[in-house]
Amino acid sequence: MNPAEWHPVDDATYLQIQRFLFREAALLDRRDYAGWLALTADDIRYRVNAMVSRDAGVAEVDYAIVDEDRLGLKSRIDQISNPRLTRAENPPSMTRRVVSNIEAYDGASAEQFQANSYLLAYRSRPSLPEGGFYVAERRDVLRRTAAGWRLARRDVHLDQVILFDGALSTLL
Amino acid sequence: MPAALGSMNGWVDVGRGLVSREIFVTDEVYRMEMERIFDRTWVFLAHETEIPTAGDYVSRTLGSAPVIVVRDADGMLHGLLNSCRHRGAKICRADSGNARNFVCPYHGWTYEMSGRLVTTTFDKHFPKDFDFSLHGLARVPRLETHKGLIFGSWNADVVPLEDYLGDIAWYIDPFLARTQQGMEVLAPPHRWRAKSNWKVGALNFVGDSQHILTTHVGPLTLDPVRAARAGFATAAENSFQVVTDQGHGCTLTYLAPGLPEDAYQTHPRDLEPLYAKLLSADQFQLLKRLRVIVGTIFPNLSFIETQVGPAQKAVIVRQWQPVSGTEMEVFSWVVAEKEASTDYKSQVLRKGFHNFGAAGVFEQDDMELWASATYASNNPVAKQLPYSFHTALPYINAPEKDHKWPGRAFKPADTEVAQLEFMRQWDRCMKAGV
């Protein structure tokens, strides 16, 4: 769908979407991964994309550094949430996700919505006490279900060519 | 301060299995490495399939110098210093692209893809005796390929690439050049910075079987492919390390004897016949019942092939680019046979970087521990205490006598022989440079 044809959601829906995004950010910052996973749809696709620096006017190339279905996501979470199974997240990273600039549009169906937001995620860890930032745009598909809102698709587009510190071990 | 473990014989004491910590944390050693290793030997630059058509280029680093690797209209590859001959500006500031010629963004000096200076845009103001042919972009004097892998060297007198690779070519070809059309990169390289010396990565891939069960307990426990199969330890008895005269090495881990081969140990059934056509019978034999091969081509190119699903093998090419004594930039490509189906390629790409990539479930734990080792070693007290490579000592002078393939083979696979041999080569280069 051409973004020019996107219809912004009504204010009530916008508030619900904002509340959902804030809530799932808080769950991740508290490392309540089970709680976070419960907010994802069974058919979720979760991608994190990095950039390739290209000349202006040349087609952008971004490519996935994470591309998971729900099983893959669960496997990542099982690793980083179990102190016996992770070195990168034990002791855990300290993270703070600031989510802002939310734009929400009607999606492909009556119960599905496109929610784009900006993410500034701070992370410090034992090997990087000074911390660092991931800066990204999230392009999410949110679904309204009888059980509540669910994250059906997330595309995180990092504004970074080179990841700043080691391998990404947290969710964005 | 604690007493050091006796005085070491230089930075690398092969006889005692000791390697100085100093060389893993100091910028002075990094600068010496640039002169004595990275500016003298062959260094990997790019895969040919990253620049398949005329005008395609990638920006890379050779030693500490930025270079452009470009394919010209005739299909010829060129390596050029990415710095204008006029006032030094970077000619290509993008990571990759396609160009008809290279125009410096600063004052407009314009070069052909071979590096030849075409015009300065102010040609009329130049002295009459100004020789354009002497003011092209500095060329990487040696650029050669081995089956798709492009290497460059600043040393015009370096031995031919095939001689430099030597016996390791026999072991890398079954993974990086095993079908008629060859391998292709499936996506741009993942790139990340790690606060760790580049040699830590090179050593990890040349043969560090000892870290697998401790560092990687997470993915080994959780990954259904691995968890469902026999453990690493049982397979170690018929596995081995290979060391070549140039300091290259690899570690091959096989399915334990007696265990039936099943889909989790096999290469794609439709591609295997293609391997058989191109590889020697022995090289094809090398692939059978193989679980993992991991290796390093001195100094900083590594590769791994690992099972990522039933009859699915991800092949990853990895480069450890030094940034300073305590930091490196890692490049990681996933490659697959050109002949493979689109679906197969997308699956091994996704599963490949799930395991080994900028957010890899193996990498996250490696990077954390490598950074912590670098941090904890970078102080005057720790620097007096050499790193231990002792488990190489009982084996390093006893290569397998009946090894029928190139190079020297050592059993078992879980000793530090290949790592100490890598350090021996490093030491040779550093001393030769004096």
pLDDT digits (tens, 9 = 90+) for A28-70: 999 999 999 999 999 999 999 998 888 888 887 879 999 999 9
Contacts of B195 in chain A (CB under 8 A): 127-128, 165-166
pLDDT for res A129: 73
For the record, the structure tokens of B394 come out as 């009982």
Residue of B nearest to A47 (CA): B350
pLDDT for res B226: 58
Q: What distance in Å separates residue B58's CA from the closest CA in chain A?
A: 10
Q: A3-158 architecture in CATH?
A: Roll (3.10)
Segments making up each domain of chain A, as ranges = 3-158
pLDDT for res B225: 60
pLDDT for res A126: 72
pLDDT band (50, 70, 90) for residue A125: confident
Contacts of B346 in chain A (CB under 8 A): none
Would you say how long chain A is, in residues?
A: 172
Contacts of A74 in chain B (CB under 8 A): none
Cα B88 from Cα A72, distance rounded (Å): 47
pLDDT for res B5: 45
- Best interface-test mutation with B: which of A68, A163, A170, A172 has the largest number of B CBs within 10 A? A163
CATH superfamily of B43-157: Rieske [2Fe-2S] iron-sulphur domain (2.102.10.10)
Task: Compute the average pLDDT of residues A132-160.
Answer: 96
On the question of a common fold for B43-157 and B166-432, the answer reads no
CB hemisphere CA count around A115 (13 angstroms): 29
* E-only strand ranges, B182-259: 183-185, 190-194, 240-243, 249-254
Segments making up each domain of chain B, as ranges = 43-157, 166-432
pLDDT for res B262: 64
Q: Is the peptide bond before B412 cis (omega within 30 degrees of 0)?
A: yes
pTM for the whole thing?
0.94
DSSP β-bridge partners for residue B331: B191, B319
pLDDT for res A31: 96
The DSSP result for A122-144, as a single string, is: EEEETTEEEEEEEEEEEEEEEEE
Q: What distance in Å separates residue A12's CA from the closest CA in chain B?
A: 37
Cα B340 from Cα B186, distance rounded (Å): 11
* E-only strand ranges, chain A: 40-51, 62-68, 94-106, 112-125, 128-145, 148-158
Restricting to B residues 286-345, those with a Cβ less than 8 Å away from any Cβ of A are 329
Residue of B nearest to A67 (CA): B350
Question: What is the ipTM metric for this complex?
Answer: 0.93
Residue A35 one-letter amino acid: G
Contacts of A65 in chain B (CB under 8 A): 190, 353, 357-359
CB B357 within 8 A of CB A163: no
CB distance A168–B95 less than 8 Å? no
- Percent of chain A surpassing pLDDT 90: 77
Domain B166-432 annotated CATH 3.90.15.10: no
pLDDT for res B265: 65
pLDDT band (50, 70, 90) for residue A79: very high
pLDDT values of chain B reduced to their tens digit, one per residue, 434 residues: 444 444 566 899 999 999 999 999 999 999 999 999 999 999 999 999 999 999 999 999 999 999 999 999 999 999 999 999 999 999 999 999 999 999 999 999 999 999 999 999 999 999 999 999 999 999 999 999 999 999 999 999 999 999 999 999 999 999 999 999 999 999 999 999 999 999 999 999 999 989 988 898 888 888 766 555 555 445 666 789 999 999 999 999 888 777 766 656 688 989 999 999 999 999 999 998 888 999 999 999 999 999 888 889 999 999 999 999 999 999 999 999 999 999 999 999 999 999 999 999 999 999 999 999 999 999 999 999 999 999 999 999 999 999 999 999 999 999 999 999 999 999 999 998 65
Task: Give the list of residues 6+ apart from residue A5 with CB closer than 8 angstroms, or none.
Answer: none
CB B388 within 8 A of CB B419: no
pLDDT for res A128: 72
CB B269 within 8 A of CB B310: no
Burial environment of residue B261 by CB neighbours within 10 A (0 to 12, 13 to 18, 19 or more): exposed
Q: How many CB atoms neighbour CB B141 within 10 A?
A: 13
CA proximity to B196, closest of B430, B416, B378: B378
B72 touches chain A (CB under 8 A): no
pLDDT for res B3: 44
CB B152 within 8 A of CB B145: no
Q: How many CB atoms neighbour CB B273 within 10 A?
A: 9
Check whether A91 has a pLDDT greater than 50: yes
pLDDT for res B2: 44
pLDDT for res A57: 84
B220 touches chain A (CB under 8 A): no
Q: A130 or B23: which carries more pLDDT confidence?
A: B23
CB B284 within 8 A of CB B322: no
